[in-house]
Amino acid sequence: EDQVTQSPEALRLQEGESSSLNCSYTVSGLRGLFWYRQDPGKGPEFLFTLYSAGEEKEKERLKATLTKKESFLHITAPKPEDSATYLCAVQAGTGFQKLVFGTGTRLLVSP
Amino acid sequence: NAGVTQTPKFQVLKTGQSMTLQCAQDMNHEYMSWYRQDPGMGLRLIHYSVGAGITDQGEVPNGYNVSRSTTEDFPLRLLSAAPSQTSVYFCASSSRQSIGANVLTFGAGSRLTVL
């Protein structure tokens, strides 16, 4: 059974204090691993897709990396506006690919 | 603005009542899906559609019906609401990709409370 586990559940950082969020997964035939950002009262917003081990993608202060068992979302010098819940999801198979989501990491960045 | 539109944003129902959550997208996406989000749980797939006239069940389909008569619309019907259906519901759409993975575009969500 495909499974996604995210840690920590919640993370509190001071502005400028870099850290990483973890997403561990087990899936048969990974087609893609996704990172989404979700603000309170809003729908998830797409950040990155990673396809194979060793791949990295960056966007502003965020960098996502992928290994065969886990993905990390590195946040460098975060700002208060980076506060949100970050969701990880995996997609497997062909045709309509059902995503399996983790429960998310709630990030709070204090000024 | 192009995207996924959900209505209503908030709804309170009594046990046994029925209602329909509306979802529309204007991106000409083939795939549409409904998820529910509950505290401490990841988003879970309720029903999905790969095109007009085609629907299928996801992980938690019981108590919900869907239909897809047009590419743009994918309503979710609650037949007889139960307190266990209290949740936040998200509609999402994506284009069919022959390679790579599908990026979902989500609506803003519909918060449903069943008393």
| B61-80 pLDDT, tens digit each | 999 999 999 999 999 999 99
Reported as a pLDDT band with limits 50, 70 and 90, residue B106 is very high
Asked if B88 reaches chain A (Cβ–Cβ under 8 Å), the answer is: no
Q: Which residue of chain B comes nearest to A47, CA vs CA?
A: B103
Please give the Cα distance from B69 to B85 (Å, whole number): 25
What does the block give as tokens for A22? 């973890």
Reported as a pLDDT band with limits 50, 70 and 90, residue B100 is low
Residue in B31, B107, B109 closest to A96 by CB: B31
Q: Which residue of chain B comes nearest to A35, CA vs CA?
A: B103
Residue in A32, A45, A104 closest to B101 by CB: A32
Q: Annotate A14-57 with DSSP letters as a single string.
A: ETT--EEEEEEEE-SSEEEEEEEEE-TTS--EEEEEE-STT-EE
B90 and A51 within 8 Å at the Cβ level: the answer is: no
